[in-house]
């Protein structure tokens, strides 16, 4: 923006300079006319009249020799909404935890993700056929920061995936044209520390990278919060609106600074207590915010949660999580709701993930 301003300022100065030169030429020639007329016997003399016309013609010609100032067109303002996933598209994602097992979601390894990709594409095609107004963008919702025992990871009670693993998923997404959500559990690490310290280069460089916050695994970075994280899963984590607002503002700043499509923030919620001061979450037009109803169970329970968390206290867009059946795993949806079932929800979810 500053470059465009300096460019326009120089252009305007050049136009003013040319106008001043042109005026000076005309004034000088007119002075010659007046002096010549005085020597030629005054303005009423036939010689004076002819000479005046000749000089005027030369003045006009001199003006035409100066390059004409061309109108300067402003550079088109950057619009972060161009190619942004929401609200025009629907995101259908495969969930996973880096290094996790099959029950943690099909994106937990690149091998299982590759095997699940045809099924993800089939889900996407069903949503697109049911709602042609919203084309489908396929994605990975990948937990790259996992809550851990505080005895093994004493600083934050959580661990990040290594850079090589993250880069491998980025490459996979580039090849298969997928969005990549970096999902964070955090333990006691503040959101800002985790994002700036570990994810900033990826968010700034790649237009398809997004962010997700799993509120139930986050604890305050205080002695009491550390004690609760150390006792997990006995204690339920939570996140305050202030940290969510920081993430919203940070993503907006990245899009505007690096001219990237508007990024999406997904906020997980499966319990009323996991988001504190929810009414204070502040939207930003340059970040899309999804509130995802999380948790496994029967359709009635899941629909009830969606109504309570999303419909009755909607932030911006709705999200819905589905838990696929796995052999020997009881923490799955029974029965699994179909895309038709999901789109009967109100408001219709624009983010749907499969674990």
Q: Is omega for the bond preceding 233 within 30 degrees of 0, making it cis?
A: yes
Do 107 and 51 belong together in one domain? no
Spatial distance between the Cα atoms of 9 and 7, rounded to a whole number of angstroms = 5
Do 161 and 308 belong together in one domain? yes
> What are the backbone angles phi and psi of residue 145, rounded to the nearest 5°?
-130, 115
Do 120 and 258 belong together in one domain? yes
Q: Pick the closest to residue 186 from 152, 213, 154, 222 (CA basis).
A: 213
Do 25 and 100 belong together in one domain? no
Report yes or no on 250 lying in a domain. Answer: yes
Q: Pick the closest to residue 185 from 159, 165, 224, 163 (CA basis).
A: 159
Do 36 and 102 belong together in one domain? no
Residue 29: the pLDDT is 29
Do 120 and 156 belong together in one domain? yes
Report yes or no on 70 lying in a domain. Answer: no
Beta-carbon contacts of residue 13 (< 8 Å; ≥ 6 apart): none
Spatial distance between the Cα atoms of 34 and 48, rounded to a whole number of angstroms = 9
pTM, rounded to two decimals = 0.79
Domain ranges, residue 21: 2-65
Report yes or no on 318 lying in a domain. Answer: yes
| pLDDT mean values, one per 10 residues, the chain (355 residues) | 34 37 34 35 38 40 37 68 98 98 95 98 98 98 98 97 98 98 98 98 98 98 96 93 98 98 97 96 98 96 97 97 90 94 98 98
Do 59 and 97 belong together in one domain? no
Do 143 and 59 belong together in one domain? no
CATH code, domain carrying 157: 3.20.20
Report yes or no on 72 lying in a domain. Answer: no
Spatial distance between the Cα atoms of 349 and 293, rounded to a whole number of angstroms = 10
Question: Could you tell me if 74 and 4 are in contact, meaning their C-beta atoms sit under 8 angstroms apart?
Answer: yes
Do 54 and 103 belong together in one domain? no
Beta-carbon contacts of residue 43 (< 8 Å; ≥ 6 apart): 37, 49, 52
Report yes or no on 163 lying in a domain. Answer: yes
What domain count does the chain have?
Answer: 2
Which 8-state DSSP code applies to residue 218?
A: B
Three-class HEC string of 300-330: HHHHHHHHHHHHCCCCCEEEEEECCCCCCCC
Please report how the helices 110-130 and 163-176 are oriented relative to each other, as an axis angle in degrees rounded to 10.
Answer: 40
Domain finish residue from 65, 80, 115? 65
- What's CA 207's distance to the chain center, in Å? 8
Do 126 and 19 belong together in one domain? no
Residue 175: the pLDDT is 98
Report yes or no on 71 lying in a domain. Answer: no
Residue 328: the pLDDT is 80
Report yes or no on 83 lying in a domain. Answer: no
Residue 75: the pLDDT is 55
Do 61 and 107 belong together in one domain? no
Spatial distance between the Cα atoms of 263 and 333, rounded to a whole number of angstroms = 29
Residue 51: the pLDDT is 38
Do 60 and 164 belong together in one domain? no
Half-sphere exposure at residue 101, Cβ-oriented, CA atoms within 13 angstroms: 5
Spatial distance between the Cα atoms of 67 and 133, rounded to a whole number of angstroms = 52
Report yes or no on 324 lying in a domain. Answer: yes
């Amino acid at each position: 923006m500053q470059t465009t301003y300096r460019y326009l300022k120089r252009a305007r100065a050049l136009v003013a300079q040319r106008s001043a030169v042109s005026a000076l030429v005309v004034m000088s020639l007119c002075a010659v006319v007046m002096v010549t007329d005085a020597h030629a016997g005054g303005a009423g003399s036939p010689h004076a009249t002819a000479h005046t016309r000749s000089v005027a013609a030369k003045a006009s010609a001199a003006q035409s020799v100066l390059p004409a100032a061309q109108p300067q067109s402003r550079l088109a303002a950057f619009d972060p909404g161009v190619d942004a996933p929401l609200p025009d598209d629907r995101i259908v994602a495969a969930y996973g935890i880096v290094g996790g097992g099959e029950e943690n979601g099909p994106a937990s390894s690149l091998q299982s993700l590759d095997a699940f990709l045809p099924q993800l594409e089939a889900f996407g095609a069903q949503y697109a056929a049911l709602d042609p107004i919203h084309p489908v963008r396929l994605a990975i919702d990948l937990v790259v920061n996992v809550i851990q025992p505080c005895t093994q990871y004493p600083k934050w009670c959580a661990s990040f995936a290594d850079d090589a693993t993250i880069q491998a998923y980025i490459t996979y997404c580039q090849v298969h044209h997928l969005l990549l959500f970096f999902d964070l559990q955090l333990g006691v690490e503040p959101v800002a520390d985790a994002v700036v310290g570990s994810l900033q280069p990826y968010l700034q460089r790649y237009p398809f990278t997004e962010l997700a916050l799993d509120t139930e695994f986050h604890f305050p970075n205080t002695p009491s919060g550390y004690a609760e994280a150390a006792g997990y899963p006995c204690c339920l984590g939570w996140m305050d609106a202030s940290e969510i607002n920081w993430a919203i503002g940070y993503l907006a700043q990245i899009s505007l600074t690096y001219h990237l499509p508007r990024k999406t923030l997904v906020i997980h919620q499966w319990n009323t207590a996991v988001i504190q001061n929810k009414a204070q979450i502040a939207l930003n037009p340059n970040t899309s915010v999804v509130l995802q109803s999380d948790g496994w169970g029967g359709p009635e329970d899941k629909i009830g949660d969606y109504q309570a968390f999303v419909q009755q206290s909607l932030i911006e867009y709705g999200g819905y999580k589905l838990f696929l059946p796995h052999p020997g795993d009881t923490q799955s949806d029974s029965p699994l709701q179909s895309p038709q079932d999901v789109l009967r929800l109100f408001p219709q979810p624009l983010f749907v993930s499969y674990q």
